[in-house]
Amino acid sequence: MDDVLERERTRTATIDEAEHLLQTVYNLCGHTTGREHVASDSYHLPAHISPHTDFPGGGSGPKTAGRIYDTVLSDLSMCDQYITLDCLRALYGLNYTPGAVEQNSYGIVEYTPEAYLQSYSQTEYQSFDYNGESDLDLQYGMGASFNNPLDALDGPYCTFEGGDDPTQDSVYPGPNGYDGPEACGTATPTNVISTSYFYDEADITPLYAARQCAEYVKLGLMGVAVLYSPGNYGVASNGGLCWIATQTQGGTIFNPSFPGTCPYITSVGATMVAPNSTVYEPEVASEEVISSGGGFSNYFAMPEYQKKASRAYPDISANGANHVVAVDGQFELACGTSCSSLVSGGIFTMINDARLSAGKSTIGFINPTIYSASFAGLFNDITMGDNPGCGTNGSNATVGWDAVTGLGTPNFPKLLAAWLELS
């Protein structure tokens, strides 16, 4: 079989068709918090297909809250209901003009079947400055920093011989995509990489997690900052799964996500503008439509920069509630740590721009720096809210670092000044 799956061999199925083909029943599962998730207890594949299939996809996507009116929402008094780029600029002091665009770069990871259409971002930017996840990622990842050139690399760019294990890593074909020579390990990585996808830590072995984490060490040493979303289920993991003897929605033992637990990435939790509040008041932990992921690793020891018993996450946070995204010429609201990771990546990309303009290096792996005494107080501390899951209230936001919002949200002017002071 070729690396690329031809378009004529793919199709979109209704729920009824998918249930018939997979011999399953899809349910819209509701949580006591009001969150909903499409899920099935099991699925079945024919014997001749099963060996060639990692898992059936397409059953989930970014959390959305339905369509909203095609209105220019530039009024900052409405940021508790609709987060736009103007809201983010006001929240975090994002007033910056880039000076080193040709030297700088920001990488946003997407997987098939997600797609990007330039017209969606044009609609977003023209209005207030959805194929779902990819639209959210690119509109806010690009918009939060500056007008980055977009360079898309898809599945055929690499093969699993470059390091991925097809028994663990899904294959993501890109029909009619990249057709040049395979070049794993030779392309220059971007200065910041943000990924809005993750595993349950329990779904992979400790050795596999350690091996993947080692690759992030290499990126950090190359001057690359790697950001990950920690999930949208609080102290639970994907689908609200927790532990008893196995992963189940009825479990009570907290279930961390990976790579958020890897000590060599930066995990970004989600905050929100509290109802009836403004961008000039402190944010709170996101716990309405989604519950910001956070907790402690079962695999990794606490790194020196955190100085505790086991790796804890998130490291920082940013707004992840009610982001307005454009799709099919309409606007929808999206919520999740996908939003917060992308916004943070855009902010660190601007800091890289300033350092490059000053003849300095990129910031690289940021955790040892942001946990250091010299950076104390440079994030907006979040002290309200929690991250419920597993039948509990989870952890609670408090003064200083916590397992809901980490060190807090970026204060761009303070962080920019501090990083420019470093060599």
| pLDDT tens-place string over residues 71-112 | 445 678 889 999 988 899 999 999 888 889 889 999 888 665
250 is in an annotated binding site: no
The region of weakest confidence among 2-16, 33-47, 119-133, 158-172 is 119-133
CATH code 1.10.260.40 for 63-421:
no
Confidence band, pLDDT 50/70/90 cuts, at residue 128: very low
Q: How many CA atoms are closer than 13 Å to the CA of 127, on its beta-carbon side?
A: 23
pLDDT band at 196 (very low <50, low <70, confident <90, very high): confident
Between residues 118 and 292, the one the model is more confident about = 292
* Cβ within 8 Å of residue 332, ≥6 positions away: 64, 65, 66, 67, 68, 130, 324, 325
List b or e across 189-200, with b for residues whose CB sees 16 or more CB atoms inside 10 angstroms.
Answer: ebbbbbbbebbb
Per-residue model confidence as pLDDT tens digits over 382-391: 999 999 999 8
Which of the pair, 302 or 310, is modelled with greater confidence? 302
pLDDT at 134: 42
Q: Which residue among 17, 75, 165, 169 is the active-site one?
A: 165
Cα dist from 197 to 108, 182, 227, 273, whole Å: 11, 24, 11, 24
pLDDT single digits (tens) 321-354: 988 887 666 778 888 888 899 999 999 999 999 9
pLDDT over 80 (residue 14): no
361 is catalytic: no
What value does the mean pLDDT of the chain take? 78
Task: Please identify which of the residues 16, 161, 304, 421 carries the catalytic annotation.
Answer: 161
- 370 has binding-site annotation: no
Is 179 labelled a binding residue? no
Q: Tokens at residue 35, please? A: 């969150």
- Residue ranges covered by each domain of the chain: 1-53, 63-421
Q: Which residue has the higher pLDDT, 64 or 254?
A: 254
Q: Check if the beta carbon of residue 111 is closer than 8 Å to that of residue 62.
A: no
pLDDT at 388: 92
Q: Per-residue pLDDT averaged across 284-304, rounded? A: 91
pLDDT on residue 188: 84
Of 19-28, 192-201, 209-218, 304-313, the one with minimum mean pLDDT is 19-28
- Residue 161 appears among annotated catalytic residues: yes
pLDDT tens, position by position, 347-382: 999 999 999 999 999 999 999 999 999 999 999 999
The 3-state secondary structure of the chain reads CCCCCCHHHCCCCCHHHHHHHHCCCCEEEECCCCCEEEECCCCCCCCCCHHHCCCCCCCCCCEEEEEECCCCCCCHHHCCCCECHHHHHHHHCCCCCCCCHHHCCEEEECCCCCCCCHHHHHHHHHHHCCCCHHHHHHHHHHHCCCCCCCCCCCHHHCCHHHCCCCCCCCCCCCCCCCCCCCCCCCCCCCCEEEECCCEEHHHCCHHHHHHHHHHHHHHHHCCCEEEECCCCECCCEHHHEEECCCEECCCCECCCEECCCCCCCEEEEEEECCCCCCCCCCCEECCCCCECCCEEEEEEECCCCCCCCEEEECCEEEECCCEEEEECCEEEEEECHHHHHHHHHHHHHHHHHHHHHCCCCCCCCCHHHHCCHHHCCCEECCCCCECCECCECCCECCCCCECCCECCEECHHHHHHHHHHCC
pLDDT-based confidence at residue 163 (cuts at 50, 70, 90): very low
Residue 2: pLDDT band (50, 70, 90) is: very low
User: Is 395 among the residues known to form the active site?
Assistant: no
Q: Of the listed 286, 338, 340, 395, which one is catalytic?
A: 338
Per cent of the chain over pLDDT 70 is: 66
Q: Is 155 known as a binding-site position? A: no
How much is the pTM?
A: 0.73
Query: What is the separation of C-alpha 238 from the centre of its chain, rounded to a whole number of angstroms?
Result: 13
User: Given the DSSP bridges, would you call strands 225-228 and 192-195 parallel, antiparallel or unpaired?
Assistant: parallel
